[in-house]
Amino acid sequence: MTSEINIGLAQINVIVGGIENNVDRIIEFAKRARDEMNCDLLVCSELVLTGYPPEDLLLRPGFNSRIRQQLARLCGAVKGIDLIVGYPKKTDAGLFNIGALIIDGEIKHEYAKIKLPNYSVFDEMRYFIPGEEACVVDYKGYQLGLTVCEDIWHDGPIEAAVEQGAELIVNINGSPFHANKISERRDVVCARAKATKTPVVYVNQVGGQDELVFDGASFATSGVGEVVHQMASFEEGLSCVKISQGANGVALHGSEMVAESERLKSIYDALVLGVRDYVKKNGFSGVVIGLSGGIDSALTTTIAVDALGADNVDVIMMPFRYTSDISKHDAHAEAEALGIKYHVISIEPMYDAFMQQLAPIFAGTEQDTTEENIQARCRGLTLMAYSNKTGKMVLTTGNKSEMSVGYATLYGDMVGGYNAIKDVPKILVYELAKYRNTISPVIPERVITREPSAELRPDQIDSDSLPPYEILDPILELYVEQDCPPAEIVAKGYEERYVSQVIRMVDRNEYKRRQAAPGVRITKRAFGRDRRYPITSGFRPKVDW
């Protein structure tokens, strides 16, 4: 009878392009799995040598040669435990997305990913050639089917491996997060395991990469489609499952079962991880934020502190004649609650100097949004000056609702290197703020309950320029994320005047979004990698279609 074996699951936070660093991390995890868990085999994530997604780095000749060098180093460095790792492999036929089994320091089997995703944030067909054959290997008496990520989402690759005798499917992944993705992913894998009557070991990457966040949440299923092992989400981890021969085939036994986080916690954790990794992986010493007393900057600041620690977050309150005493008080209260460095710099003298210099060319004109935008740009200039002097990156604070309709000032409140809440609709901003206050009350209650305002003119509120957010956000979700035609949105009960206004604003502000800072993706369709529209376009949807 075949003896039991221990399989380690390595949920590693790698750096795209940091091949040497990534190999170091694999070696570290392999030694831990061998020495602490007595693992025979360690399974790592998709393209773990390069990080996912490596994008056009794959087109650089020096990149591929370095992969070969570091793969050889990995093979020579790991002793006493075998590996399954992912990496790109360039051949005369083209470039393949490989999952490989390394035994005793030698690459014994290589499997080329068959199903290449080319939708949403994925564009693998730009780089890779699909594989054509299943890969089933005998490992210590067990028949393992090697697969990569997208293979398990479609009919074909898993079934082909099982037909060739696979008793256990190993699926390595670079699967990014969006709200509800963890449960969606698990449902798909469990259904595949149940349909093929074959257990699955599913290992996913963890960490932030530009706009994407990878949640990890690696797991294993039985042959009847039940999750028997579940790792934590949004953190590195190493765990072990045991496989043995049972009466009905291979039996898989888990050792860890972490409960799935509820929706708001998972989204908040994704935002924190995205900010932490973007700041740290890009070498910034910390961040600076314009703390206005409003809800968006309040949530952004709290995320930043949770991501980086209070010592690495500075805020600047930049009052003007229209800034209310309430805003000043609430901003200071939050800074005190979080224990962060708080500065107050009035933009009044800067604004007056600008207006004095502009007076000759503004003569005979009425005040309009021009003067409002100058206020925002004074604040942007202040934040960037502080950033340049201290080395701390500016976190901008515009939410998805604002970014969608262009309710933001280029080179003003849009200034910044990264945006924690770029993909967070306004209503969700409030929900996340309330959620965070259940952990510790750091955002003043009045910030959450008061009417939102940019405070760029007397008695200004957001609803002067926009539909109410309880109307705006659902229309945006239908139009931006689901591509619903205008007539269909109206048919769902939204007033034609609001639908027309929102669509017009979304379409005409593509030029602003193209110049916006990157930010954490938490929905199925974010601006940037997901939704790609031309700036110059003659196409205008009509409500009466």
| Active-site annotation, residues | 46, 113, 149
Contact, 422 vs 516, CB < 8 A?
yes
- Rounded alpha-carbon distances, angstroms, from residue 99 to 20, 46, 151, 431: 19, 7, 12, 40
Contact, 117 vs 150, CB < 8 A?
yes
Tokens 């693992």, residue located: 39
Contact, 376 vs 395, CB < 8 A?
no
- Taking the CA atoms of the chain, what radius of gyration do you get in angstroms? 26
Q: Which two tokens stand for residue 329?
A: 């008080």
CB neighbours (10 Å) of residue 410? 17
Strand partners, 85: 100
DSSP 294-351: SHHHHHHHHHHHHHH-GGGEEEEE---TT--HHHHHHHHHHHHHHT-EEEE---HHHH
* Distance separating alpha carbons of residues 187 and 127, to the nearest angstrom: 29
* Distance separating alpha carbons of residues 298 and 304, to the nearest angstrom: 10
- Rounded alpha-carbon distances, angstroms, from residue 506 to 27, 390, 412, 437: 48, 36, 19, 32
* Distance separating alpha carbons of residues 187 and 179, to the nearest angstrom: 15
